[in-house]
Amino acid sequence: MLQYLIRVTDNTFPSVVFLALLLLISLKGNRGLRRNFHVRGILLGAGAALVYAVLKRNTGIAVREYYDLGVLLPSIAVFLLLAVAGWRSSLQKKESFPFLFRCLVCLGLALCTANIMPNIMLYPFDFAVGMDTIFNTEFLYRVMGYSAGLLLMLLILFLVYSLAAKLSERTTLIFFTASLLILACGHSLNVVQILVARNIVYSDLLMELVLFALEHINIFIYLQILVAFFIVAALLLKIKFTPLTGNNPAQLRKMKAGQRRQRRYSFGLLACLVMVALTVSVVREYDGREVELSPPLEIPALGGRILIPLDQVNDGNLHRFMYKSKSGVEVRYIVIKKSESAYGVGLDACDICGPSGYYQRKDQVVCKLCDVVMNISTIGFPGGCNPVPLKFGITAGSMVIMAEDLESEAGRFE
């Protein structure tokens, strides 16, 4: 659940604040820009993203780095031209080259949409990875995390647009320019990272720049949070220092109601910004924490057989064991009691994630690598991310595992 909330937030939030301000700045003033022009830009970007997503999903010809270069490079140029056009219009008190401005807005919306939509379209295809069926709680959690991220981003888009709309055109333009420069800097670093990774260009300075960006991956998210925060602050100050005047009590009541709504929206946006900050910091650290697997207990084979006393594994917890093969490879395997008369026995590895290992979280068995949750009743059966089944028998109060079965699986752990 958390991983998809983090992914959607990382992928979308820096562009959401910019999109809201771009939509607003293009509609403020007398620019004659119809709303259907915005729809065209968004549909154009969504169409490009859909083509890429289909090719990526069904063929091997779509390379994300080259797609990103085709989107990010023109984005930087278009964003800077939009800033110049906006300030020129504001300073001259009239719209210069209105058709050119409309084209820039359309292109800006298209490129921004084309940048964030591919991942949004492709994430749902990963929900069922490692699962035999979608009818389980883990699949539901992933859908919930993805949906929560999308709803949070849409709410932020609406709130930033609604609150900035109450500010003056010049003030909105200042915030728009700040958001634009932050996004352009982020795009520039992504371009440099792609060029260095693909060995298209290389220098020690560029490598240092890439390493800095990777070490401070959240900096552009925090900067966009600051932009949205200052929008809230500017509006609250405007409300505080703007006297209420009206021709009659009805007008005054209407103005007071409008201010109350603006305050509610302001506090709502602040709450959303706190959620974003926590998601990319605390939640990311919690979700990405390293799980330390308990050391496996080595039980030597006697006469080709490994004997495990049942009273040692009857507590319902996951037990990890290890057998050292003739070639010196440590073959790990797990045992867990599933019911009064059934045990789940398998290698500490699966066909999908390899020998990454499993651990117990409350009453669940979890793959360390992909965080897929296994139903304990399915341990010992093949399929999905389940541990590779291991043959065993029960005799005289002990579980019997043949050493030759572990020897045959040693290659998985090399």
Q: Identify the residue with better confidence: 146 or 126.
A: 146
Exposed, middle or buried by CB within 10 Å (0-12, 13-18, 19+), for 206? Answer: middle
Does residue 284 surpass a pLDDT of 50?
yes
Does residue 272 surpass a pLDDT of 60?
yes
- What's the mean pLDDT in 175-184? 92
Q: 131-147, pLDDT tens digit by residue?
A: 666 677 778 888 899 99
pLDDT band at 28 (very low <50, low <70, confident <90, very high): low
Q: Cβ–Cβ contacts within 10 Å for residue 314, how many?
A: 12
Task: Please give the pLDDT value at position 234.
Answer: 93
- What's the mean pLDDT in 138-157? 90
pLDDT band at 94 (very low <50, low <70, confident <90, very high): low
Does residue 90 surpass a pLDDT of 90?
no
Asked if residue 381 lies in contact with residue 373, where contact means CB atoms within 8 angstroms, the answer is no
- What's the mean pLDDT in 69-97? 79
Does residue 32 surpass a pLDDT of 50?
no
- Give strand pairing partners of 395: 398
Q: How far apart are CA 189 and CA 194, in angstroms?
A: 9
Task: Please give the pLDDT value at position 242.
Answer: 76
Asked if residue 345 lies in contact with residue 389, where contact means CB atoms within 8 angstroms, the answer is yes
Task: Please give the pLDDT value at position 30.
Answer: 45
pLDDT band at 34 (very low <50, low <70, confident <90, very high): low
Q: How far is CA 55 from CA 114, 115, 129, 210, in A?
A: 14, 16, 19, 28
Task: Please give the pLDDT value at position 275.
Answer: 95
Tell me the torsion sign for CA atoms 265, 267, 269, 275. Answer: negative
Asked if residue 49 lies in contact with residue 113, where contact means CB atoms within 8 angstroms, the answer is yes
- What's the mean pLDDT in 293-312? 86
Does residue 107 surpass a pLDDT of 80?
yes
Q: Look up residue 26 and give its two tokens.
A: 């293009």
Q: Which of 55-59, 175-179, 315-319 has the highest mean pLDDT?
A: 175-179
- CB-based contacts of 151, cutoff 8 Å, min separation 6: none
Task: Please give the pLDDT value at position 241.
Answer: 81
Task: Please give the pLDDT value at position 35.
Answer: 60
pLDDT band at 161 (very low <50, low <70, confident <90, very high): very high
Task: Please give the pLDDT value at position 57.
Answer: 82
Q: Look up residue 97 and give its two tokens.
A: 């080259």
Query: How many Å from the N-terminal Cα to the C-terminal Cα in the chain?
Result: 32
Q: 344-402, pLDDT tens digit by residue?
A: 898 888 877 788 888 887 667 888 777 677 777 778 888 767 888 888 988 888 899 89
DSSP one-letter code for 382: -
Q: Look up residue 239 and give its two tokens.
A: 């409300």
Q: 39-58, pLDDT tens digit by residue?
A: 888 899 999 999 988 888 88
Q: Identify the residue with better confidence: 85 or 109.
A: 109
